[in-house]
């Protein structure tokens, strides 16, 4: 039984095999020979190109990627294929094939009249699903005697004719602008967004997309591209490409005016033809462009004012308010705020004769501080929006002179020469309205606080610069103004404490009160002189300081005999005598040509060579007044330092005396071109220069490298000690 079953199965298998082999034999009888299925035509030569053609039998096809043309005798370029048909091949998947007669073009260069050309190709039968082995044909081709590739194009006209003939050939490829439709625009957030719409069966190389600055002033950030896909490219191997669409985002920083940015890109067709690199330009304007914020940007590489601007942009409102309040507390310790102390104190003391209470002192101090804060806020917001520094505008000699005269008059009233009060008729009206004269006095306190903020403290500090840059870039006057108001309140806290405590500490009416008033009268005169320093000649200013010290010393009894006086009186006399001596020293210094209040006798060091020593102790700056002068000096192969200075800027004078005079700083700046923009006059050219460079006001120091590009991270705003400034110089000159 078993043997019978096995015999039956064996007979069936033999029959099946017989049928299979018979079908194969029939198929082989029906299949065309390779040379008949794919007839390679005679290779022709035209316009420095080989034309290789095939006649394809019905039901047969050739693979595009299996076609190649080679020669050892001439130099061949990449073949140019006509449009193919995509087929889902059972052997290789989706492939581009040719099912009808077609030709390919192969540009060449040659210095011979004859060449052997090897053509390789492979195809299949559609009906039987049989693929032929790869075919190789070597053909001898006669070349025109004058052919030498592009070397035969010996004139511009001939080249134009050649290109015209080439462009007339219909390869089935899209125009480059249709294959890769490019568009770009600003997104209003400091970025250019470039977009490519890529046609079907075309692709764009990811690593060939680049951007560069063609004209204008701006700093380009890193180009951010969307994700692509890996492709085994016949030219570049494994590369990332874009199919369908691509997008690039380019941040721009520190943009000034109009700038032109150029995008470069390159792509290919799946047919195997690559286009030359393409370039497209876009023009953007700083006014509508916005300001880029780079996520993850290293804050340590930003300047101090830029870090503060970044805090405003990226922090919670209450964090901003608290941060700027702390900034204000720190600024209250700077020389720009010190003159506020005698101003407010003198106002409080002036009310002491009315048995001033602590509550009353607090209210007056609060009104002064709030008025000062409002002034800072208004001036700051206007500066941010319009680029005009209101405080700088108030440094006019007439305004400063008038305000200094007001302080002198207030001081004389403290000495008891007269009493400052409203006319009796006006006092009566105010009394009827408020039953007290306090309302009028509070109005005066508010006016004094408002004007003092505008006139006394014109120097720019990093927090102020950061807030103004933020307002100018974003137009957000609300948050910027709130930050400035919080900073001003922080600056006013010490004033509020000192003014309120006066209600407790000041003596009541009597001889002590007269002495206290006299002391604050001297302080008011000192404030008047401090303001007049900005507009008076150096010798006159130093002489007036000497006169103030000597007069105060005499008032304190420096020339009176001690006699049988109390210990307090003796201490008072000793202090007066010290002031007298220093006043005389100042006069001696003025006689020798000194202009230094702190070191008046330095001019006498070294005898006749003293002036030369003083000259050597200073940096030699070249003065500029305009943007054109600056542009003529930068980018000359040498680093440049630009100092913004003004006579009315306290921090600028500090930099001159304590930082620029330091030997280490001077050594670090050797080989650096030193420029100074003296913006004391604050004229139209000065304003234009500061606006162009994004400077709010002095003091500000900018560094430019040898190529003329600003080292923005090392921009200095406000006073810096010599050791801190030396570190910044080293970083800027790396």
Q: Quick one: pLDDT at residue 166?
A: 44
CA distances from 534 to 619, 648, 707 (A): 21, 5, 37
Work out the average pLDDT over 29-39. Answer: 83
Instruction: Output 372 or 169, whichever has higher pLDDT.
Output: 372
3-state DSSP call for residue 689? helix
Alpha-carbon span 395 to 454, nearest angstrom: 9
Q: Picking from 303-317, 520-534, 551-565, which range would have the lowest pLDDT averaged per residue?
A: 303-317
What is the distance between the alpha carbons of residues 39 and 56, in angstroms, rounded to a whole number? Answer: 7
User: For 34-168, which CATH superfamily applies?
Assistant: Thiol:disulfide interchange protein DsbD, N-terminal domain (2.60.40.1250)
Does position 49 have pLDDT exceeding 70, yes or no?
A: yes
Report pLDDT digits (tens) over 108-154.
888 888 889 999 998 888 877 788 888 989 988 888 864 444 444 44
Kindly indicate the confidence band of residue 209, based on its pLDDT and cuts at 50, 70 and 90: very high
What is the token pair recorded at 551?
């007069």
Give the pLDDT score at 336: 67
Q: Whole-angstrom distance between the N-terminal and C-terminal Cα of the chain?
A: 99
- pLDDT category of residue 680 using cuts at 50, 70 and 90: confident
pLDDT at position 708 is 83
- Is the CATH number of domain 176-295 3.40.50.720? no
The pLDDT of residue 157 is above 50: no
Q: Look at 12 and 481; give whichever has higher pLDDT.
A: 481
CA distance 194 to 209: 10
Region 401-430: mean pLDDT is 62
- Location of structure tokens 């810096």: 720
Compute the radius of gyration of the chain from its Cα atoms.
43
In angstroms, what CA-CA distances link 39 with 84, 291, 442? Answer: 18, 65, 108
Given pLDDT bands bounded at 50, 70 and 90, which one contains residue 196? very high
- pLDDT range class, residue 42, cuts 50, 70, 90: confident
Mean pLDDT of 527-547: 79
| pLDDT score, position 242 | 92
CATH of domain 617-732: 3.40.30.10
pLDDT-based confidence at residue 390 (cuts at 50, 70, 90)? low
Q: Are 271 and 205 in contact (CB under 8 A)?
A: no
> Can you tell me the distance from the alpha carbon of 547 to that of 275, in angstroms, rounded to the nearest whole number?
84
Confidence at 393, pLDDT banded by 50, 70, 90? low
Predicted pLDDT of residue 623: 92
Contact 132, 91 (CB under 8 A): no
Confidence band, pLDDT 50/70/90 cuts, at residue 675: very high
DSSP 173: P
Do residues 379 and 485 touch, judged by C-beta distance below 8 A? no
Tokens linked to 716: 């200095």
Mean pLDDT (whole number) for 259-280: 87
- Inter-residue contact 452 to 528 (CB < 8 Å): no
pLDDT of residue 161: 46
Same fold, 176-295 and 617-732: no
**Rounded to the nearest 5°, which phi and psi values hold at 79?**
-60, 150
Which pLDDT belongs to residue 198? 92
Kind of pairing between the strands at 640-645 and 673-678: parallel
For residue 251, give the 3-state DSSP assignment. Answer: strand
Q: How many angstroms separate the CA atoms of 502 and 359, rounded?
A: 10
Average pLDDT over residues 18-40: 64
Q: Which range (32-46, 89-103, 409-423, 494-508) has the least confidence?
A: 409-423
| Tokens at 7, concatenated | 């015999």
For residue 18, what pLDDT is reported?
Answer: 45
Whether the predicted model's global pTM rises above the 0.85 cut: no
Task: Indicate if the pLDDT at residue 439 is higher than 50.
Answer: no
Residue 2, pLDDT score: 42
When pLDDT is cut at 50, 70 and 90, the band that residue 287 belongs to is low
> What is the CB-side half-sphere exposure of residue 296 using CA atoms within 13 A?
2
- The residue ranges of every structural domain in the chain are 34-168, 176-295, 304-534, 536-606, 617-732
Q: What is the pLDDT of residue 507?
A: 54
Task: State yes or no: pLDDT of 292 exceeds 70.
Answer: no
Using pLDDT thresholds of 50, 70 and 90, give the confidence band for residue 488.
confident
What percentage of residues in the chain have a pLDDT greater than 90? 10
Of 505 and 668, the structure prediction assigns the larger pLDDT to: 668
Contact 733, 726 (CB under 8 A): no
Residue whose structure tokens are 């017989």 = 18
- pLDDT: is 400 or 627 the higher one? 627
Question: Could you report the per-residue pLDDT of 452-475, keeping only the tens digit for each?
Answer: 777 665 666 667 777 777 676 666
Q: How many angstroms separate the CA atoms of 718 and 605, rounded?
A: 31
Q: How many H helices and E strands in the chain?
A: 24, 27
Residue of 328 and 117 predicted with greater confidence: 117
Q: How far is 721 from 725, CA to CA, in rounded Å?
A: 6
Q: For residue 625, is pLDDT > 50? A: yes
Does pLDDT of 171 surpass 60?
no
CA distance 161 to 167: 10
pLDDT above 70: percentage of residues in the chain: 74
- Whether residue 546 is predicted with pLDDT greater than 60 in this model: the reply is yes
Contact 280, 263 (CB under 8 A): yes
**Hey, what are 724's tokens?**
């801190």
**Mean pLDDT of the residues in the chain:** 76
Which range (136-140, 352-356, 675-679) has the least confidence? 352-356
Please tell me the distance from the alpha carbon of residue 193 to that of residue 292, in angstroms, as a whole number.
12
Measuring CA to CA, which residue among 585, 680, 562, 549 is closest to residue 623? Answer: 680
């Amino acid at each position: 039984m078993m043997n019978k079953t096995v015999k039956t199965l064996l007979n069936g298998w033999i029959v099946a095999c017989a049928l299979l082999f018979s079908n194969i034999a029939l198929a082989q009888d029906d299949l065309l020979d390779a040379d008949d299925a794919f007839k390679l035509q005679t290779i022709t030569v035209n316009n420095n190109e080989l034309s290789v053609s095939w006649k394809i039998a019905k039901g047969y096809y050739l693979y595009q990627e299996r076609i190649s043309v080679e020669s050892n005798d001439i130099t061949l370029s990449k073949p140019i294929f006509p449009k193919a048909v995509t087929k889902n091949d059972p052997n290789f998947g989706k492939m581009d094939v040719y099912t009808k007669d077609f030709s390919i073009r192969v540009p060449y260069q040659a210095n011979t009249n004859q060449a052997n050309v090897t053509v390789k190709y492979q195809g299949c039968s559609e009906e039987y699903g049989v693929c032929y082995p790869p075919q190789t044909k070597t053909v001898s081709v006669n070349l025109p005697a004058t052919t030498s590739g592009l070397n035969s194009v010996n004139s511009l006209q001939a080249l134009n004719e050649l290109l015209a003939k080439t462009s007339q050939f219909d390869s089935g490829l899209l125009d480059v602008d249709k294959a890769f439709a490019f568009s770009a625009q600003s997104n209003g957030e400091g970025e250019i967004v470039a977009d490519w719409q890529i046609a079907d069966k075309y692709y764009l190389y990811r690593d060939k997309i680049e951007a560069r600055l063609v004209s204008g002033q701006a700093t380009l950030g890193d180009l951010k591209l969307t994700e692509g896909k890996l492709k085994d490219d016949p030219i570049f191997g494994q590369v990332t490409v874009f199919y369908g669409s691509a997008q690039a985002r380019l941040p721009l920083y520190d943009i000034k005016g109009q700038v032109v940015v150029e995008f470069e890109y390159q792509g290919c067709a799946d047919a195997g033809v690559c286009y030359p690199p393409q370039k497209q330009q876009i023009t953007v304007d700083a006014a509508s462009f916005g300001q880029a914020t780079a996520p993850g940007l290293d804050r340590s590489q930003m300047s101090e004012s830029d870090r503060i601007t970044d805090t405003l942009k990226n922090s919670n409102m209450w964090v901003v308010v608290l941060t700027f309040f702390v900034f204000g507390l720190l600024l209250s310790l700077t020389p720009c705020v010190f003159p506020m102390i005698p101003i407010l104190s003198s106002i409080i003391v002036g009310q002491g004769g009315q048995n001033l209470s602590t509550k009353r002192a607090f209210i007056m101090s609060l009104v002064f501080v709030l008025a000062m804060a409002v002034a800072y806020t208004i001036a700051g917001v206007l500066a941010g929006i319009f680029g005009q520094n209101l405080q700088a505008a108030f440094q006019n000699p007439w305004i400063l002179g008038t305000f200094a005269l007001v302080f002198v008059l207030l001081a004389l009233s403290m000495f008891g020469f007269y009493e400052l009060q409203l006319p009796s008729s006006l006092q009566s009206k105010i009394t009827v309205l408020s039953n007290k004269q306090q309302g009028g006095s509070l109005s005066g306190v508010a006016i004094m606080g408002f004007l003092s903020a505008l006139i006394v403290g014109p120097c720019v500090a990093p927090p102020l610069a950061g807030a103004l840059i933020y307002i100018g870039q974003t137009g957000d006057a609300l948050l910027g103004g709130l930050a400035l108001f919080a900073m001003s309140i922080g600056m006013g806290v010490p004033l509020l404490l000192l003014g309120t405590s006066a209600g407790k500490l000041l003596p009541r009416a009597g001889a002590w009160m007269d002495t206290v008033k006299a002391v604050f009268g001297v302080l008011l005169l000192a404030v008047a002189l401090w303001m007049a320093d900005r507009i008076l000649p150096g010798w006159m200013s130093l002489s007036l300081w000497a006169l103030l010290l000597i007069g105060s010393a005499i008032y304190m009894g420096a020339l009176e005999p001690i006699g049988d006086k109390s210990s307090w009186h003796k201490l008072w006399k000793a202090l007066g005598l010290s002031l007298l001596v220093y006043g005389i020293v100042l006069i001696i210094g003025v006689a020798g040509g000194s202009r230094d209040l702190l070191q008046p006798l330095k001019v006498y060091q070294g005898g006749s060579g003293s002036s030369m020593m003083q000259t050597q102790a200073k940096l030699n700056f070249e003065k500029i007044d305009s943007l054109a002068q600056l542009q003529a000096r930068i980018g000359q192969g040498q680093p440049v330092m630009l100092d913004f200075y003004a006579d009315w800027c306290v921090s600028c004078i500090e930099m001159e005396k304590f930082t620029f005079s330091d030997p280490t700083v001077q050594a670090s700046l050797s080989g650096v071109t030193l420029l100074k923009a003296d913006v004391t006059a604050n004229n139209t050219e000065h304003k234009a220069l500061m606006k162009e460079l994004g400077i709010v006001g002095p003091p500000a120091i900018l560094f430019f490298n040898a190529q003329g590009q600003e080292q923005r991270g090392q921009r200095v705003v406000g006073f810096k000690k010599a050791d801190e400034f030396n570190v910044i110089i080293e970083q800027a000159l790396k």
